[in-house]
Amino acid sequence: MLDFSSLLLAAALSGTCLSVTMFAIWFTAPRARFVLTVACGILVLVTHVIVFWRYTREPNPWLCQTALALLSLGFLALSLSAMQYLGVRDHSRAVLPTLLAMAICAGVTYLGFDGVGFILTYTTVTVLLASIGVMFWIKGGGHDRGILLVVSALSGVCGLSFGLCGAVLLVKGQWVLGVAPDNWAERLNSVVAVACMTALGALTLSLHHLQAQIELKAETLTDPLTGLMNRRALNSLYGERVFGPFMSVAMFDLDHFKRTNDVYGHPVGDRVLCRFAAIIKKYDRAGVHAFRLGGEEFALVMSRMTEDKAYDLASKIGVAFGTEVVPTPRGPLRSSVSGGIGFGAEGGSSLDEVLAEADKALYAAKHAGRNRVLVLDKTTKADGPALRSA
């Protein structure tokens, strides 16, 4: 049977291994800042365990205050890591109350009420762990939903064990201790804390791995210049879809783009591409997805939309782009775009079939003088006037 000191040393050893693993992961992936914060938090908690173990052997007011401060700081760091992972930016909500509680704890401990200091610290840790559990429960979703629910449960269990430690001291009225508290709640907390922290460390690794996979997938499906989805994303999202009569694809090609690059230079050409991407992105919403196919070619997939509405939407994009002015050393630059639309069929069409139809319509728009959107077999629209630039 392990005694209390052995449990503390086991917790320190487990935490050290976790911390070293987290630091190693962060060195290989510096962008995963939440992993670094977790590693620092666990390292602070390991230091707390060592100081607390020393305090159990040589009771000293300064060791007591140091151990309590390190315990609060360690779990504050874990709380901040949760905020980093979930994208919560207002860190002051955790930092300020924790620092205030630490200051009060240091004051009462200095006055000799170390039992009150332990109660305050256990309460602070319980609140921090509860906040971690609530954040993961509320904000968790998507691919990592299952893992976040487990993290939430483990945080709750660990927080409950610290709450029991404080409750035992409170019920017994142990305001002044003079030594480290040693009761059934403390022993239970040592076991629960080691188990939960080990599990949380393993889950942190899983979250990092999952986040890395999601980021890698996002990078492979995103055009780095414009931020739009690329052709691979188009095939991934719609390659197996059946295009019915209320689905369509508009293809766009910037007019005279090669000449723009030759006359104004590629940096200006990139700015023109980004301007068009910004315009088409404004219409990117549920059922409407924008893509950069490569070079100066773009596509817009429209779902749950009639042919007339699809044509109007594509035309608005062309007109809006015509109003854009890009400043250059040679003077202001205006550009235009040609577009063609392909539609799904009653019996269903594949992505390739709709793209082929849109490409033919785009070629017709280029041949008809550019700066317009055409639809095959829609003579009233195909013979219409070119889009005008304001």
Task: Tell the residue number behind the tokens 């009569």, with chain if given.
Answer: 245
- Rg from Cα positions in the chain: 31
Report the distance separating Cα 66 and Cα 51, nearest Å: 7
Q: How many CA atoms lie within 13 A of 210 on its CB side?
A: 15
Report the distance separating Cα 373 and Cα 362, nearest Å: 7
Catalytic residue status for 296: yes
Report the distance separating Cα 202 and Cα 255, nearest Å: 54
Given 296, 307, 324, 346, the catalytic residue: 296
- DSSP-H helix ranges across 173-254: 184-220, 231-238
Three-state SS at 243: strand
Could you give the C-alpha distances from 371 to 205, 323, 338, in angstroms and in order? 52, 12, 5
Q: Within a 10 A sphere around the Cβ of 330, how many other Cβ atoms?
A: 10
Report the distance separating Cα 215 and Cα 98, nearest Å: 33
Q: Within a 10 A sphere around the Cβ of 86, how many other Cβ atoms?
A: 16
> Considering Cα of 235, then 239, then 245, then 247, what sign does the dihedral take?
negative
Which positions are annotated as active-site residues? 296
